[in-house]
Amino acid sequence: MNTSSSSVIPPAEPPGGWRGVVTDWSGDRATFRVPWGKAMMWIFLLSDTFVFSSFLIGYMTVRMSTTATWPNPAEIFALSVNGHSVPLLLIAIMTFVLITSSGTMAMAVNYGYRRDRDKTAACILATAYLGVAFVGMQAFEWTNLIVHEGIRPWGNSMGAAQFGACFFMITGFHGLHVSAGVIYLLTVMRKVLNGTLERRGNYELVEIAGLYWHFVDLVWVFIFALFYLW
């Protein structure tokens, strides 16, 4: 293209809407006008979406194709309160704990951009603590299932053998994400507290860690609906 005519050079800030998408993707420059770490985290989360979705679709396939009876999750995950069996109580508590941790993480990101180091670190610590609580309850849930209900990845006493395989695979992979997230959050909290982000002049790192944590919460929304309520 003849660059001498200055009128054809696109404006620095492309138009919004669909035209903006075309301009962003066709330009000879960075497509995503976000910090590179944020773009990379989004792309990682996209790949993780595919992994989790494959697990859930595999679970759907074996559940739909088995002729054996599928155990009722509402009964398996019931807790007894004052002698009454309340269905899914443990899962409900775990859900609320994880949603709350997402809320505290959103606060941490917000306080980070407000340059409030102490509140940011406190919110991250609260998030990590709630994450540990979640994993703790999952350990309790697994112990209960393995020791008392006799459920194994290859079978169980109450119906379809695929139940154990799906359960341990899906919740185990999610629990692994929560555990790794807690370690991730604590390293970010350390950087907040010792002033690394202050010297760097931005708190993007907190937002990127937040994306990961919200994603873990997001995956639980799908597991909760598709595994425990189905």
Partner 1 sequence: MESSTTPASVAPHVAATGGEHTGQQHAVGLYLKVWGLLFVLSTFSYLVDYANLQGYLRWGLILVLMVAKAGLIVAVFMHMRWERLALVYAILIPPLALLVLMSLMASEADFTFVTRLAHFR
Nearer to partner 1, 32 or 140 (CB): 32
The answer to whether 217 and 98 have CB atoms below 8 angstroms apart is yes
Nearest to 170, CA basis, from 47, 46, 53: 53
Least separation in angstroms between CB 147 and partner 1? 25
| Residue 45 sits in the site that holds partner 1 (CB under 8 A) | yes
Nearer to partner 1, 43 or 150 (CB): 43
153's tokens: 């990845």
Element (H, E) at 86: strand 84-86
Number of H helices, E strands in the chain: 8, 2
Listed ranges 24-32, 138-146, 151-159, 162-170: which one lies at the site for partner 1 (CB under 8 A): 24-32
Least separation in angstroms between CB 31 and partner 1? 6
Nearer to partner 1, 66 or 144 (CB): 66
Least separation in angstroms between CB 102 and partner 1? 6
Listed ranges 65-73, 149-157, 166-174, 180-188: which one lies at the site for partner 1 (CB under 8 A): 65-73
| Residue 9 sits in the site that holds partner 1 (CB under 8 A) | no
Q: How many CA atoms lie within 13 A of 125 on its CB side?
A: 10
| Residue 113 sits in the site that holds partner 1 (CB under 8 A) | yes
DSSP track, 181-220:
HHHHHHHHHHHHHTTHHHHHT--HHHHHHHHHHHHHHHHH
Query: Cα 87 vs. chain centroid, distance in angstroms?
Result: 25
Nearer to partner 1, 102 or 138 (CB): 102
| Residue 200 sits in the site that holds partner 1 (CB under 8 A) | no
| Residue 150 sits in the site that holds partner 1 (CB under 8 A) | no
